[in-house]
Chain A
């Protein structure tokens, strides 16, 4: 089986778990993902499967994409395509469908997404610089301040925090507990927040840092 699925962030809510604790969860619609292409060491030099999620209209699809989807046995081209690397030769075949039942309750997952775009931001918001006093004639409110020393070193250090574009970056949140899997609706509930706005595409994968002891056994 493969370790990751493509999905869509639905939104956040709260649910009571088995211990009657109210847990904050993010609802993710994960899969079903169709296997569009299979890559093996012989054919491509490495083992992987390409999976697709959701579909897009023909008028928005290039001919190359249409042909690729047809080869993968799909009617319409998937809106999102992603490759999952595998250690061994893939057991999945083109045309197979991977669903959310890959995941189980209690498991740890990583969720990858694109963070919300914040536009051009100053250092106070972007790097949590303290800023200056608000009042008493300080005239130094949300400014960056000094960016270096004197003749030594005579230059500004790398990674000096400065204003600029914030957000819209690929981010991974690791080790989120799967609170619930609703297989018939392709939904997965993970504890805590994940990057991106509601409706954004995300990748849900088995946590690379391992699983809690109870699940491993």
Chain B
């Protein structure tokens, strides 16, 4: 990418973000403005995708809300995100967990943890 553009956006890219990855159960603390007041709203769910890079990077959080699947896309570098808490970690086999959309009930919130044994060093 153009170095001039990189320089402009670099100052707005957050440096001290909580590391989280696809498959993690997260709580996203977002700042919500109501009139003059500002309060923090928490949105909890599973990260099913991380896309883009630099200032454009976004992540999608999916949750089941009253039996209905809800997905919300957040920009990683948004100043409206107060903080991100990682509640649960998992190691999914895919980079995008879109298959969770086809699941119902309890299966929809479970990401299988699949750990591969490291190949034995010969």
Contact = CB atoms under 8 A, between A and B. Distances in A.
Contact of B12 (A11, A15, A198): A15
Interface stretch (B18-26, B41-49, B62-70, B72-80): B72-80
Interface stretch (A47-55, A132-140, A181-189): A181-189
Interface string B55-92: 11000000000000000000101111000000000000
Which secondary structure dominates where chain A touches chain B? strand
A190 B80 CA distance: 23
A16 B5 contact: no
Contacts of B9: 13-15
B116 to A, nearest CB: 37
Nearest to A10: B4
A22 interface: yes
B79 A20 contact: yes
B8 interface: yes
A12 B75 CA distance: 18
Given A27-B4, A187-B8, A13 B79 contact: no
Kindly state the interface size class of chain A when it binds its partner: 10 to 19
Contact of B55 (A14, A185, A189): A14
A16 B78 CA distance: 8
A97 to B, nearest CB: 21
A90 to B, nearest CB: 32
B79 A11 contact: no
Nearest to A22: B75
B68 to A, nearest CB: 27
Given A16-B78, A20-B79, A22-B78, A11 B8 contact: no
A11 B80 contact: no
B2 interface: yes
Contact of A13 (B31, B55, B77): B55
B5 A15 contact: no
Contacts of A14: 9, 55-56
Given A16-B78, A20-B78, A22-B78, A11 B5 contact: yes
Nearest to B3: A10
**B8, B12, B56 — which one has the most chain A CB atoms within 10 A of its CB?**
B8
Contacts of B55: 13-15
Interface in A3-28: 10-11, 13-16, 20, 22, 27
Nearest to B55: A14
Contacts of A13: 5, 8-9, 55
Contacts of A15: 8-9, 12, 55
Given A10-B4, A185-B4, 9 more contacts: A10-B5, A13-B8, A14-B9, A16-B12, A20-B80, A27-B2, A27-B8, A187-B8, A198-B2
